[in-house]
A and B are shown apart, each in its own frame.
Chain A
Amino acid sequence: MKTDSSVLVIGGGIAGMQASLDLASRGLKVYLVERSPSIGGRMAQLDKTFPTMDCSICIVAPKMIDCLRHPNISLLTYCEVKAVSRSAADFVVQILRKPRFVNETKCTGCGICAQYCPVEIPNEFDMGLGIRKAVYIPLPQAVPLKYTIDEEHCLKCGLCQRVCGTGAVDLKQEPETVTLNVGAIILATGFELFDVRSISEYGYGRHLNVLISLEFERLLSASGPTGGHLLRLSDGRIPRSVAFIQCVGSRSLKGGVPFCSTACCMYATKEAILIREHEPECEVTIFYNELRVFGKGYQDFVNKAKDHRGVKYVRGLPGEIVEDPGTGDLTLWYEDTTENVTKSTKADIVVLCPALVPRATSKDLSALLGLELDEYGFFKAKDRLFAPVDTNVPGIFACGYCQSPKDIPESVGQASAAASRAAEVIALSADKEVH
């Protein structure tokens, strides 16, 4: 087998990392492209993972480091695919390296620059609940641990430049283009969150104590904005009751997306259990329509939440959330559809589980690579049953959420699958060269 043949992996989330590691550890060269300054993806933002309750960053950080350290993987963070053309069996890929304004080789990640930077802005990694500087690393365990200046907010005051011990700050840095020849491409661009503002009856954006699940995840996380203390944003009080609402924007023929996001029932259950562990006094209710417990060990996980953790499950989606202008407390109106009565309940915090949708960038990529998207915007499989990770373009494969909704284990498994197919393609082209 030709070992110098290389593969381009787009997306540095868990799926992208797994595919890269599989390919690299079998001796293939991998270019891992990530548009944000650090790899790690969504999983790095999570507090725990169901059903094992592993600390998410604890199990994903080693994988991130593995990617960084693997001799066969070159990390292209803060980069984007700009153009792709074909030459024989190979793809010729143009990668745009966005200016970090910090010299990656010089930066030691000491963080002095950030200490002195006068600009404070909401931290995307903490879903805007925490703050970061204009020169920043998205998360403490960032890989690579190199700072980035976000041009949009930077005042160009030059303070960072003055304090940087290694002279790594370079405000004149220009974007550059890298050209790669690869034998195969794997897409693992993941998902983004549906904007639940449009579902106005839940008042996200108007009511301070209505959060979306990923924000809440950060709120629970020990490395999050409250240092892992479960507090209400409106008044810093410890909540006595938290309600989760499923399917916000998903399974909708109107004002949302028609499909099921697949992971919400379980991560809500996980977050519910976490609340009970943080604050045993806090009442937790999950409003759902259909419990999606089809995964391995999921039903048992839910049973545990119900029977041992005292998490309350109500079948029925609330119609509206009314905020008490004085206290910021929330009233949910809902029908318990198994009791057939409409009633209201109070909650200190309401967590909305938004639809997880394919990234907007999937469109651009599909245009760039000549890929078909399905009606929902996921990368379309060549054969849904027998070639699930193949796309309509030979040599290009998709895995993880960008291919269709799935949870972490499935994404990891599918990442390996994509790796396998990529390896086949390369083996094939190698054979061709032989003959």
Chain B
Amino acid sequence: METEPRIVAFLCNWCSYAGADLAGTSRISYPPNVRPIRVMCSGRVDPAFVLNALEMGADGVLVTGCHPGDCHYVSGNLKAEKRMKSTGELLRRLGLRPERLRLEWVSTSEGARFAQIVTDFTKILGEVEPNPLSAGNNAVAILNAEQTVTEALARTNVRYCLECGKCSGSCPISKVKDSYSPRRIVERFLLGFRDRMLSSPDLWNCLTCLTCTERCPSDVRYPEFVKACRRVASKEQMEELCAHKGVTTALSRILTNPSLKQERMDWLPEGAGTSPKGELLYFVGCLPYFDVIFEDFNLKLLNIARSVVGILNKAGIRPVVLDDERCCGHDLLWTGDVENFERLAKMNVAEIRKAGAKRVVTACPECYRTLKKDYAETVSNLDFEVVHISELLSELIDDGKIEYDIDLQRKVVYQDPCRLGRHMNVYEPPRKVIAEIPGIELVEMGRNRENAVCCGVNAWLSCNKYSKAVQLDRLAEAKATGADLLVTACPKCQIHWKCVMSEKLPVRPEDVTIEMRDLTVLAAEAMHSA
């Protein structure tokens, strides 16, 4: 039978909520399927709220606030307007339909208007198909903590810890949070303080940058250990430390729903050459979504995708680009949600196979690691090769398939993203791609390659004063090289650094602000018609 669409409504305390009250006191009736939530201001409504509501199966989300100019908090409602617009766009690209989100202005005196809005909204929602998502949708793991930890202790060599403290001396977080020490966390696990550890925030502070693993004489793979423990660790800690209210992980979870029809291709420029099937597949990653979520940073992240396709076309390659590509699941994996990760993995692998690709190229180090390493572990006999764009490009350069024809007079410093560097040992190809560009002087930071320092945040966890400190330190190091352009091969580095740069800084801005560019974008800049 036809079920009533379920609506979650966020009402601002000063106008809309009162308006709703008035509707009641005036005995104006409206559909009962709305579930009002009072917030002080419509500006309080975060895109994450919207996504979470939908993820839990709401068919529509109604956000109401004061009329422009009436906002009790001056301009909260205008912020809400901007935010809801982009959230709507997010829903569109997700294939969840923008109609499910509605923003309206309702004043104290507009009881009738409120009732009308709810009635209309219900009607509209009745016409679109019901929300494919539902609370039962997400996979939940039932795990034995004891067993998981013990298994992890063995698998990741943690038991061989010699307590030498080299990890703490290497860890970017320990350096700014002197009480944080991987080996001490390990020691506690070894001494059997399991529950205490699983409920402590320490587990979520790890950047999983692998610096400690790189240097640990006892071959203790701490980040792997942390990854395993996060599966059974208390999630409250995680939620507290989660950046952006977890909008991105929500996004990833939503994408595990097979029936979604995404709208993610419209970034492709006119005349860009792609093919539905073929040898080479370009795995775009979350760029279309980040493009929306972080539009304020104005990083134009989709230019990375455009550059990739551009360069490949220039080399005479028409890559496959999947219109139903899903999130690679990296963040879910590293926050302990292995089950939903596996779903994504299977869906992506299936799509890639369908396209008949023998080779998958990614421009994102996280996708790169995840596809190449973690998919291989989840999905048996991965029958395609995964390469990073930098590897492909240096290959094309060697084969003379592409060449730079624009002289860029720039002094460039390169950041090794953790996932590309320490995780996958790709150090030289990106440097080659940069160094080959005419007119470019490539300089190094003191700590480079396996000693490079993380951009400060991973899997959108614990973005706090400590990660900020790490970021500022790294930016200062880059700046100190005298370079005028900081190139990275990871879109997330750019997001995190841009974020810290656009904040109120505890240091002289000129010491830490530097122009950034993605490796591929830089490469494209050096080629006509790419």
Contact = CB atoms under 8 A, between A and B. Distances in A.
Contact of A337 (B163, B180, B212, B451): B163
Contacts of B446: 322-323, 325
B448 to A, nearest CB: 10
A201 B169 CA distance: 11
A265 B181 CA distance: 25
Interface in A343-358: 343-344
Interface in B188-214: 211-212, 214
Nearest to A334: B169
Contacts of A201: 170, 214-215, 450-451
Interface in B461-493: none
A247 interface: yes
Interface string A213-236: 000000000000000000000000
B178 interface: yes
A342 interface: yes
B164 A200 contact: no
B166 A317 contact: yes
A332 B166 CA distance: 11
Contact of A335 (B160, B168, B217, B447): B168
Given A255-B217, A342-B178, A342-B181, A317 B447 contact: no
B165 A317 contact: yes
A256 interface: yes
B215 A319 contact: yes
A346 B180 CA distance: 21
A318 interface: yes
B157 interface: yes
Interface in B171-190: 171, 174-175, 178-181, 183-184
Interface in A271-323: 289-290, 315-320, 322-323
Interface bin, chain B:
20 to 34
A355 B164 CA distance: 16
A253 interface: yes
A254 interface: yes
Contact of A200 (B184, B217, B451): B451
B162 interface: yes
A268 B476 CA distance: 36
Contact of A342 (B157, B169, B211, B216): B169
Interface string A249-269: 001111110000000000000
Nearest to A341: B178
A317 B216 contact: no
B181 A253 contact: no
Contacts of B181: 335, 340, 342
Contacts of B405: none
A343 B165 CA distance: 11
A319 B212 CA distance: 8
Interface in B142-166: 157, 160, 162-166
A318 to B, nearest CB: 5
B29 interface: no
Contacts of A336: 165
B164 A316 contact: yes
A290 B163 CA distance: 10
A78 interface: no
A333 interface: yes
B176 to A, nearest CB: 9
B443 to A, nearest CB: 11
Best-surrounded residue of A251, A317, A340 (most CB of chain B within 10 A) = A317
Given A317-B164, A317-B169, A319-B166, A335 B174 contact: yes
A290 B162 CA distance: 9
A342 B469 CA distance: 15
B218 A319 contact: no
B50 interface: no
A319 B214 CA distance: 10
B219 interface: yes
Interface in B265-284: none
B304 to A, nearest CB: 30
Nearest to B449: A200
B159 to A, nearest CB: 11
Contact of B169 (A323, A325, A333, A340): A333
Contact of B217 (A256, A332, A333, A337): A256
A340 B187 CA distance: 12
B167 interface: yes
A20 B477 CA distance: 58
Interface string B424-451: 0000000000000000000000110111
Contacts of B170: 201, 319-320, 333
Contacts of A289: 162-164
Contact of A322 (B164, B165, B447, B449): B447
Best-surrounded residue of A325, A341, A342 (most CB of chain B within 10 A) = A342
Interface in B288-313: none
Given A317-B165, A335-B181, A342-B168, A253 B175 contact: no
A213 to B, nearest CB: 18
B172 to A, nearest CB: 10
Contacts of B184: 340
Given A247-B217, A253-B219, A337 B164 contact: yes
A435 B78 CA distance: 113
A348 B160 CA distance: 33
Given A201-B451, A289-B164, A320 B217 contact: no
A319 B168 contact: yes
Given A201-B451, A322-B447, A342 B180 contact: yes
Contact of B216 (A247, A254, A332, A341): A254
B451 A319 contact: no
B165 A252 contact: no
A289 B450 CA distance: 24
B165 A334 contact: yes
Given A251-B162, A253-B218, A319 B171 contact: yes
Contacts of A247: 164, 217
B447 A320 contact: yes
A323 to B, nearest CB: 6
Nearest to B481: A325
A337 B181 CA distance: 9
6 contacts: A255-B217, A316-B169, A317-B165, A319-B165, A320-B169, A342-B165
| 10 nearest A-B residue pairs (beta carbon) | A319-B169, A319-B170, A335-B168, A335-B165, A316-B165, A252-B217, A254-B219, A342-B174, A337-B165, A334-B169
Given A319-B166, A320-B170, A342-B181, 16 more contacts: A200-B449, A251-B162, A289-B164, A316-B164, A316-B165, A316-B169, A317-B164, A317-B217, A320-B447, A322-B447, A333-B175, A334-B168, A335-B183, A340-B181, A340-B184, A341-B178
